[in-house]
Amino acid sequence: MKPATIALATLVVASATASAVDYASQIAPIFRAKCYECHHTSKKVKGDVDLADNKMPESIGAGKHIVPNEPKKSTMLIYCALPDDDEDVMPPKGKNRLTPAELKMLETWITEGASLTAGGAAPTAAAPAAAGGAQKWTSADGKIIEATFVRLDGDNVVLTVTATGTTHAVPLSRLSPESQAQAKAAK
Ligand code: HEC
């Protein structure tokens, strides 16, 4: 099946605000690398915890796994910080643990309010690497998304959007000249 062609603008992640940790570029890539295999709609949903972007709101709020501004009450962070041999540690059995830097990032994001849309820090070089080949793409009208190149398909470039994990064909004409060149160089 051909991926649906959609306007790049609809993929754009909300633009910068005062917050320092950005969910889409800094937190979601950690979950993708270390949790999605057991906690994502498209794979498995263990423990009733689905970390897919559209399901994240179900994990955030008072009494849920992520309590905004309250890292010490956020079981998501607590489980990730347990010792390797604790039976509740996430990911289980001490495999593929979050690094201290990733734990700190998660803690800071929660302390800042655990927003799924607000973000401020210019994504660091580390973020695209963690996302596995994701790059920045700029639309003809200057909006930026982070996505992984899949292939060129005629006049479209097929991209997997980091924030949503979804794959779309984007007409080359909707991209900036730089991103068009990036797409052509990527094949
Ligand atoms: C290999 C599979 C696997 C991976 C990877 C994994 N989990 Fe889990 N997770 C589980 C299972 C199984 C449960 C259910 C455990 C239970 O209910 O005893 C669970 C439960 C949870 C719960 C709910 C616990 C509760 O008591 O309600 C949270 C929160 C959670 N995981 C977070 C994460 C996070 C965050 C990551 C990534 C850093 C992660 N998990 C990675 C398998 C996994």
Q: Which atom of ligand 1 is nearest to the CA of 95?
A: 5
Q: How far is the CA of 66 from the centre of ligand 1 (A)?
A: 13
Q: Which atom of ligand 1 is nearest to the CA of 47?
A: 14
pLDDT of residue 16: 40
- Yes or no: say if 112 and 67 are a contact pair by the CB < 8 Å rule: no
Q: What is the mean pLDDT of residues 59-83?
A: 97
Does the C-beta of 90 come closer than 6 Å to ligand 1? yes
Cα–Cα–Cα angle for 53, 54, 59, nearest 5°?
80
Residues in contact with 162: Cβ distance below 8 Å, sequence separation at least 6, in sequence order? 24, 25, 28, 29, 32, 131, 134, 145, 146, 147, 148
Nearest partner of 51 among 70, 33, 73, 71, judged by Cα: 33
Query: For the ranges 2-11, 48-57, 105-114, 153-162, which has the lowest average pLDDT?
Result: 2-11
Q: For residues 110 and 101, what is the distance between their CA atoms, to the nearest angstrom?
A: 14
Q: Which residue among 27, 32, 34, 39 has the greatest number of ligand 1 atoms within 8 angstroms of its CB, and so is best to mutate?
A: 39
Does the C-beta of 37 come closer than 6 Å to ligand 1? yes
pLDDT tens digits, one per residue of 107-160: 999 999 999 986 544 344 333 433 457 888 888 888 888 888 888 888 888 888
pLDDT tens digits, one per residue of 153-177: 888 888 888 888 888 888 899 888 8
Q: Which residue among 43, 44, 79, 99 has the greatest number of ligand 1 atoms within 8 angstroms of its CB, and so is best to mutate?
A: 79
Q: Whose CA is nearest to atom 24 of ligand 1?
A: 47
